[in-house]
Structures are given as structure tokens and as C-alpha cells.
Amino acid sequence: MAKPRIFVSSTYYDLKHVRASLDRFIQSLGFEPILSEKGEIAYHPDMPLDESCYREAISADIYLLIVGGRYGSIASSEHSKLPPSIIHERYESITKKEFDAAQSSDVPTFILVDRAVQSEYETFKRNRDLNKIKYAHVDSVNIFHFLDEIFSKKRNNPTHQFDRFTEIESWLREQWAGLFRELLTRRSSQQQLSSLANQVSQLSEVNDTLRTYLEQVVSKIDVQGAAELIQAENQKLRRSKTIAKIRGLRVFRWLNDMFGIDFEQATNFLETSSNSDDFVERVSAASSDPEFFRELMSMPLIEMEQDSPKGEFNAARKLLGLPYIFDIDKNYDENDELFSEK
């Protein structure tokens, strides 16, 4: 039987006892913990080691982040960007990039912050412009910048402070029990929606019949004008159905939540861009975090599946009657329900 996979993300040496306790706790719930020190991450020979970690974070069912006093090792992608003189002053760690990867795929996220670190974060906020302050519980102010980003998220960022592991265990039990109850409630709601969908389907058939009657009446009154009117209305109806299907693709909600780009902007860029580079640059220019968007779109894991961002952008282009804009290994099948006329 498939088990929910929980990716545990943190620095190792300062939090190894917490990670070991979480390993036992997660297994006691019947879930599958993913911890790098246990050899549970499959490393790809063609990628840097940390890229494999980001891939696992994206594929997990739940992402669990623990923020302690150490910021962590520098991500492989950062080495080429920063000169050696400042590489330890302001950089992105592997743990932070794991968080970014999980957020980019909207993986349900739970965040635990050491209470001592949280207290010093409050001090940092009041002295943000003073560079000579030495903090007792953290090894880098980058931790505070990381917390800035976490707390600035509009959603999917529940946080809890802890001193002892019992506080972690209690909070996670409550959170995951609530998540399970929500799934049961959603299942009940889906049954109600299924009944409602049947009624809507019947109304749709009645609407089609009435439209046929009206077309017959109009065509007898004004033959030439009726044909043009019917054709124009049919085009509007097809466009409306197409836009509704495109709006249902997850990638457009992702663009809005992560980068502040609304649906109308995104579809305009998608329709009018001449190639993938043009599209990425136009979206980046309009996004709240241009560099992060460019970096995500350049990562190999973004193009691995049909329902990845690139795969869904291609599907939207096909629905609009345009050629694919990204060259990826796997697109939606031509016979997929997404492309049906219904």
C-alpha cells in the first residue's frame, strides 16, 4: 500500500537528534520519511547532488522544514554567481532551495522554527541595518533573510516554534489529523458535486436544444444575417470553453501565487510570444521575482512530465490552436480529455 512521503528538510549536524526523532515519529504514523542521511534520496549521475534533493522535495506528499541556528551549505547553482569574497555573506543554501522547490510545486508545507532563533529574528528585525551585531544562536544572518521570505508568503507557510521535540510531535499530530479530516470532508463534497454535475449536464442538453430552435427561427427571418450571427456566437462559445479549460491548469494558479502574474497577463504572454525564450523573458519582466522564475524554468526537473509547468504551458498553447512553445520529452496525449470538444 502506498504511504504518504514526508520530506524532512534542515541542516544536519545541529539538528541530527531532531531529525532522528522525526524519523521514528513519522514511521510510527505509518508514513514514509525521506531523509538524506538515511540514503533515501536517489541521486542522478547527470545532476549535482543538491539538484536530486530538490527533485525529491517536489515529488514528496508533504514537505517538513526545520529552521535551526545553522544556515547550511551553499547550493551548487550559487557557486558560479557569487565572487569568493562574499560567498559566505549572502547566498542561498541547499535547505532554502529545497524550500523554494517544494513551494514551486505547491507541496503542502509545515515549518518548525527553533524558539531561540525566532527570538533573535525579532532582534534582527529591529536592527536590520546594523551589520556589526553578533547573534548568539545563529551562524549567519541569511537565516533571518530566509525567515523574512517564509513569513512573507501568502499561503502554504504554517509555522510553529519549538524548544523540545514533544512540542514538534504534538503540533504535527494536530496538523496532519486536521489535514486528514479535510480530505474526508472534501470526499463528501465531491459526491455532492457529482450529483450537481449531472444536473448541470441535463441543463446543458436543454440549452443545446433551445439554441437549435432559436437558430431555426432566426435563419427564417434573416437568412444571410443569421448565418453570420450564428457563426460569430459559436466562435465566442468555443473561445469561452477553451479559456475555461486553460484556467483549470494548475500552472496559472502557480504563476499568480508565486510571481503575482494574473491569468489574463499569462495567457496574453503565452499567445503572443514567438518562442520559449521570449515567453520566459516576458513573464520574468512582469513577475515579482524574475531571477527565481528564470532559474526554475531552466531546471531539468521542470520539464520531466506532461503536468510540469512547461508541459501545461504547451497544453494551453495547443488549446489555443498554437504550436508547442517548449521542447520537452513528454506532452499531453492527443486523445487526453483536456482536448475533447466537451
Chain segment 146-203, per-residue pLDDT in tens:
999 999 999 999 999 999 999 999 999 999 999 888 888 877 777 676 667 667 766 7
Question: Greater confidence, 284 or 40?
Answer: 284
Q: How far is CA 262 from CA 70, 212, 258, 274, 282, in A?
A: 37, 36, 11, 20, 13
Instruction: Indicate where the chain has its CATH 3.40.50 domain(s).
Output: 5-163
| C-alpha span between 129 and 132 (Å, rounded) | 9
The pLDDT of residue 82 is above 70: no
The pLDDT of residue 111 is above 90: yes
Tell me, what's the pLDDT at 302?
Answer: 46
Tell me, what's the pLDDT at 246?
Answer: 85
The pLDDT of residue 336 is above 70: no
Tell me, what's the pLDDT at 278?
Answer: 92
Supply the mean pLDDT for the chain. Answer: 83
Mean pLDDT, range 228-254, rounded to an integer: 79
The pLDDT of residue 331 is above 70: no
pTM above 0.85, yes or no: no
Q: How far is CA 164 from CA 69, 168, 171, 174, 282, in A?
A: 15, 7, 12, 16, 47
Mean pLDDT, range 26-52, rounded to an integer: 87
pLDDT bracket for residue 85 (50, 70, 90): very low
The pLDDT of residue 14 is above 70: yes
Region 5-163: CATH code? 3.40.50
Mean pLDDT, range 313-318, rounded to an integer: 88
Tell me, what's the pLDDT at 168?
Answer: 97
The pLDDT of residue 300 is above 70: no
pLDDT bracket for residue 218 (50, 70, 90): low
Tell me, what's the pLDDT at 113?
Answer: 97
The pLDDT of residue 27 is above 90: yes
The pLDDT of residue 88 is above 60: no
pLDDT bracket for residue 304 (50, 70, 90): very low
pLDDT bracket for residue 4 (50, 70, 90): very high
- Give CA angle at 225 (219, 231), nearest 5°: 85
Give whichever of 102-111, 229-238, 327-336 has the largest mean pLDDT. 102-111
Cβ atoms 131, 125 nearer than 8 A: no
The pLDDT of residue 215 is above 90: no
Least confident of 52-56, 81-85, 250-254: 81-85
Tell me, what's the pLDDT at 224?
Answer: 64
> What's the distance, Cα to Cα, between the start and end of the chain in Å?
35
pLDDT bracket for residue 81 (50, 70, 90): low
Strands (E) in the chain, as ranges, are: 5-9, 32-34, 62-67, 109-114, 159-162
Mean pLDDT, range 119-137, rounded to an integer: 88
Mean pLDDT, range 79-98, rounded to an integer: 70
